[in-house]
Amino acid sequence: LTAQVTSSLARTGNGYPRMKLSYQELLAFQGVKRYEMDQSCCFDTMLLDEERGRLFVGAKNYLLSLSLDNISKQQHMIYWPAPVDWREECNWAGKDINTDCVNYVKVLHHYNRTHLYACGTGAFHPTCAFVEVGQKMEDRVFRIDPNKVEDGKGKSPYDPKHQAASVLIGDELYSGVATDLMGRDFTIFRSLGHRNSIRTEQHDSRWLNEPKFNSAFWVPESENPDDDKIFFFFRETAVEGQGLGKSTYSRIGQLCRNDVGGQRSLVNKWTSFLKTRLICSVPGSDGSDTYFDELRDVFLLQTRDRKNPLVYTIFSTSSSVFKGSAVCIYTMNDIRRAFLGPFAHKEGPNYQWVPFQGKVPYPRPGMCPSKTFGSFESTKQFPDDVIQFARHHPLMYNPVYPLNRRPVFVRTNAEHSFTQIAVDRVAAADGQYDVMFIGTDVGSVLKVISVPKESWKNMEELLLEELQVFKDASPIINMQISSKRQQLYVGSETGLAQVPLHRCSSYGKACAECCLA
Amino acid sequence: LTAQVTSSLARTGNGYPRMKLSYQELLAFQGVKRYEMDQSCCFDTMLLDEERGRLFVGAKNYLLSLSLDNISKQQHMIYWPAPVDWREECNWAGKDINTDCVNYVKVLHHYNRTHLYACGTGAFHPTCAFVEVGQKMEDRVFRIDPNKVEDGKGKSPYDPKHQAASVLIGDELYSGVATDLMGRDFTIFRSLGHRNSIRTEQHDSRWLNEPKFNSAFWVPESENPDDDKIFFFFRETAVEGQGLGKSTYSRIGQLCRNDVGGQRSLVNKWTSFLKTRLICSVPGSDGSDTYFDELRDVFLLQTRDRKNPLVYTIFSTSSSVFKGSAVCIYTMNDIRRAFLGPFAHKEGPNYQWVPFQGKVPYPRPGMCPSKTFGSFESTKQFPDDVIQFARHHPLMYNPVYPLNRRPVFVRTNAEHSFTQIAVDRVAAADGQYDVMFIGTDVGSVLKVISVPKESWKNMEELLLEELQVFKDASPIINMQISSKRQQLYVGSETGLAQVPLHRCSSYGKACAECCLA
């Protein structure tokens, strides 16, 4: 396989895709299926349901259920507007009646075998609802249970321009979101379920500093579910960035699933919250690296070991002069090592951030109470000094560097920047290949593959295809992949598109060529 | 004039020069004169002598005297090699006999009415000499006085790859240079003349931290010569850059001409040395600016007021990914304000740099002893607390921002970067215009003019010409301008070129067009 790809690279030249298809060409190849709705927009929430064969979608005033096989057929929809009085209230507060004071669905999760959980902005009045979808595909049920509509504060943002990052585990929702109308009180919040709600410390820039949440995932840490962790990905204003101007850093934050807060201090606040910087940079010859500081998307590629998915990320530059995007990959090993490393410590206002040199109390903050690592059964049993230490040291000193200390794929001076990523792991005769699908802000999808360059330790990225999936060049705001169906589902402001992962018929007949198409 | 330029801009389109001449075209227009020497290279030292009508040039093993009217005619030269035993010694130390172990002339100044002062690397054995040039142009004298050859340590670098920045005032030489064979002990050094030699504090990264010196200028501060200052421009590794990686900052440093060092402390060291950061950045919408961190060249444009020249500078980016260059202009007002602002202070290793809040001793460090601002007659009379404070606070907290807080001209994603700048102030019917000549690393010169866009406060830069002055695309390493003769003298590794500032005959006959040509 490698030899074939390399020779194909030689034919097409570096930096250019092997195949570039315009929207018309893609339609002609029958490679793309479309879904549009005149009365809605903003398809930025998607949920794959492989079992039922459905793609659930949240949009402006609507919930959709589409067929995974063909998104343009067999659609069901729920009209879910904000009530008139909320819309008027929103409008009186100075917001636009049609663009702001409506219900944008921002959260959509599987709740149980028969229901989804969905939240929307509700005209700056966040609202959540249980959505009945039936037990089986044949049930064709798709409706909101009107008795189970509830307040969505701390779950969905108020402002349609904001993004919520959330994950639903068991019957509990973990969300990173602004919990107030003005969009100033940002929190990582656990709600729903039977335990007390729990959140991050308020008004403490060391915990969260104007964060922009991107995504959240649940990753087991051992075979013991007590060690389960939730990871949040976000970017925020760096507290470390002293002196001139404002710096944005990208972060990964961690929480224990069994955190129930402290007993005397940090009551109903996380005692296991830690965060650190995610670095995606190109090393310079003289030590001055080029940073891609703004995290745009995260995709967890599951491996055989559920504890160790590969973290694929998209970053872009902060600069208004130099535009560029990069793909960086992180391992859970490196992430865990950073959280086990030194805590960042700042003695006072005129001090700088240094690695904490003193004695860290036991149990070390960030460890979950479990039989794996200790004898504490609940975070409420943690000694006071642990809680105090955790409260003042949410930031780790060591950042997480990407695999091989550099991005796997970089694009600069292009007319587009990257917005979304999804990855398909493909088994070939000579090993496995990760095929990256990268969405851009001009409605196109890049298909990029890593191939070994001499050895499997030294990979080279090839741009295979550049597909214009949206005719109107609107930014891609969501992307879901079904490896089972070999389909990619793409959402933008204006519509949805479905593209097969591979277009074998467009290429030659050789099987290897086809695998890579 | 403005209207004509604007319409011309409309015709040619933005970002492209009005006229782009290849080397052949430039030759054909008789617009360029060339000087080359098979046996030499590296014409990076130039000295204009308008009175004698000569261009003195320092190169590898040679000193040249060329005619300012036509550099390809009436040349005189001095062969100035390094002695054979020094060359052999250099070669034994592992350096290359032909590229390193020769004499590169790095320093060339007017010394008095009959002599120049020149220094060279002398095969890693810096050497200086007085060069007799006669009283008048007709004298045609051009020779080194063999009795007046002296040690060049602290004046010329040892390493041909290093640059010395120096200025000769009266009979004293101020130079920024590495004073040791290994190129580790960098200093700003005053030598020659009758006073004791004086230098910067040694082994103190707060004073100088791996500096790369660029240029030095003498600027009066008042009508009283006791207030005269010397300014050094350099870049260095930022002590402020904490945490990850290495940052390069560009600096302006100041000294008093009448500084003779301290009495008990800082003996034969500067007591008036202060430095601060020169910022050249493009503001970002969200507060994250794009920095051009590496100072490449400085040109002082003299105005009617000798105390207030305009400081034209060239900067480039540090990144290996994003390449760009910018022109920033600084006023002496802003520079002086930074040196009168707060001192940068760091209490200890774990502290950060903050503005010093305590009481600054009198007389304030950085002020020259003079009747203008106090009653001290010499820096040796300064109280101990002043000397101690000066020793520990060479760095100012406030940086110097460019005029209008942004570059006047930026080029990104170009195949070249800027290396040199010279500016000609042109009087036109409706005001004065500054015409910038910008040398690049591919042997071309850009001609850029600032024209008012609506008002004289809001200027717009137009790229008028792009001239390929060197056929071999070698980087331009020196550029001198003669406004009197309306000629630009350009030096590279491989040769010298002379170009008239304007090519009137290539344009239409209208006078205004001609002025801008």
pLDDT tens for each residue of A365-417: 999 998 876 778 899 999 999 999 999 999 999 999 999 999 999 999 888 99
Return the pLDDT at A388.
96
- Taking contacts as CB-CB distances below 8 angstroms, the residues of chain B near A321 are 282, 290, 322, 324, 410, 412
Chain A positions touching B244 (Cβ under 8 A) are 279, 289, 399
Three-class secondary structure assignment of B328-369: EEEEHHHHHHHHHCCEEECCCCCECCEECCCCCCCCCCCCCC
Chain-chain contact of A399 with B244 (C-beta, under 8 angstroms)? yes
Q: With bands split at pLDDT 50, 70 and 90, how would you rate the model's confidence at B89?
A: very high
- The predicted pLDDT at position A505 comes to 55
Say if CB B484 and CB B397 are below 8 A apart. Answer: no
Give the nearest chain B residue to A285 (CA atoms). B320
Report the residue from B321, B322, B352 with minimal CB separation from A242.
Answer: B352
Q: Say whether A322 and B412 touch across the interface (CB within 8 A).
A: yes
Q: Which residue of B has its CA nearest to A355?
A: B350
DSSP category for residue B102: S
- Residue carrying the six token digits 């995260």: A298
* Mean pLDDT calculated for residue range B267-276: 97
The pLDDT tens digits of the residues spanning B193-226 come to 999 999 999 999 999 999 999 999 999 999 999 9
Residue B9 has pLDDT above 50, yes or no: no
pLDDT for B509 beyond 60: no
Among the partner residues B247, B290, B320, nearest to A320 by beta-carbon distance: B290
The pLDDT of B291-310, averaged and rounded, is 95
Which chain A residues are within 8 Å of B243, Cβ to Cβ? 240, 353
Percent of chain A with pLDDT over 70: 93
Mean pLDDT of chain B: 90
| pLDDT confidence of residue B3 | 41
Element (H, E) at B384: helix B384-392
Cβ contacts of B318 on chain A, cutoff 8 Å? 284, 286, 288
The set of residues, in sequence order, having a beta carbon less than 8 Å from that of A422 and lying 6+ positions away, is: A299, A436, A437, A479, A480, A481, A488
Of B245, B279, B350, the CB nearest to A289: B245
Of B315, B164, B323, B165, nearest in space to B250 by CA: B315
Is residue B86's pLDDT more than 50?
Answer: yes
Which of A243, A320, A324 lies closest to B284 in CB terms?
A320
Which chain B residues have a beta carbon less than 8 Å from that of A412?
321-322
Task: Using CB atoms within 10 Å of the CB of residue B358, give its burial: 0 to 12 exposed, 13 to 18 middle, 19+ buried.
Answer: exposed
Residue ranges of chain B that CATH labels 2.130.10.10: 230-414
- The C-alpha atoms of residue A255 and residue B460 are separated, in whole angstroms, by 53
Q: Enumerate residues 6+ apart whose C-beta is below 8 A from A66.
A: A35, A54, A55, A56, A57, A72, A74, A75, A496
Top mean pLDDT of A1-10, A159-168, B446-455 is at: A159-168
Of B242, B282, B293, the CB nearest to A321: B282
CA distance B509 to B513: 7
8 Å CB contact of B245 and A288: yes
Q: For the complex shown, is ipTM > 0.95? A: no
* Backbone torsion region of residue B214, taken as left when φ is above 0, otherwise alpha when ψ lies between -120 and 50, otherwise beta: alpha
| B21, containing H or E segment | strand B19-21
A245/B412 touch (CB, cutoff 8 Å), yes or no? no
pLDDT at A10: 36
Residue of B nearest to A286 (CA): B246
Q: What is the rounded average pLDDT of the residues B3-14?
A: 39
Confidence band (pLDDT; 50, 70, 90) for A138? Answer: confident
Give B-chain residues touching A414 at CB under 8 angstroms. Answer: none
Q: How far is A190 from chain B (nearest CA, A)?
A: 31
B230-414: CATH, from 2.130.10.10, 3.40.50.150, 3.40.50.300, 2.40.30.10: 2.130.10.10
- Mean pLDDT, rounded, for B116-135: 95
Across chain A, mean pLDDT equals: 90
**Least confidently predicted of A268-277, A314-323, B137-146, B326-335:** B137-146
Closest C-alpha among A421, A441, A424 to residue A433: A424
**B113-142 burial, b if ≥16 CB within 10 A, otherwise e?**
eebbbbbbbbbbbbbbbbbbbeeeeeeeeb
How confident is the model over A296-342, as pLDDT tens digits? 999 999 999 999 999 999 999 989 899 999 999 999 999 999 999 99
Q: How far apart are CA A312 and CA A437, in angstroms?
A: 11
Nearest CA in chain B to A277: B244
What per-residue confidence (pLDDT) applies to A507? 52
Strand partners, A49: A54
Chain B hits for A287, CB-CB cut-off 8 Å, are 245-246
Q: What is the pLDDT of residue A15?
A: 60
Any idea which of A499-503, B113-117, B343-347 has the lowest mean pLDDT? A499-503
- Taking residues A11-27, report their average pLDDT: 68
How high is the pLDDT of residue A9? 39
Q: Do B353 and A318 touch (CB under 8 A)?
A: no
Q: Which residues pair with B354 in a beta bridge?
A: B345
Residue A196 has pLDDT above 90, yes or no: yes
Distances (CA, A) of A398 to A283, A337, A340, B243: 17, 9, 9, 10
Shortest Cα distance from A241 to chain B (angstroms)? 10
Q: Please report which confidence band the pLDDT of residue A2 belongs to, taking 50, 70 and 90 as the band edges.
A: very low
The separation between the first and the last C-alpha atoms of chain A, rounded to the nearest angstrom, is: 12
Work out whether strand B19-21 and strand B455-468 pair parallel, antiparallel, or are unpaired: parallel
Residue of A nearest to B323 (CA): A322
How close does chain B come to A346, measured CA to CA in Å? 8
Transcribe A218-286 into DSSP letters: EE--SSSGGG-EEEEEEEEE-SS--SSS--EEEEEEEEETT----SSSSTTB-SS-EEEEBP-EEPPTT
Place of tokens 């100012």: B396
For residue B344, the chain A residue with the least C-alpha distance is A243
Please report the pLDDT score of residue A246 as a whole number. Answer: 82
Contact flag B282-A347 (C-beta cutoff 8 Å): no
Residue A508 has pLDDT above 70, yes or no: no
Say whether pLDDT at B105 is over 80.
yes
Q: With b meaning 16 or more CB within 10 Å and e meaning fewer, what string describes B13-52? A: eeeebbbebebeebeeeebbbbbebeebbbbbbbbbeeeb
Q: What pLDDT score does A412 carry?
A: 92
pLDDT at A512: 45
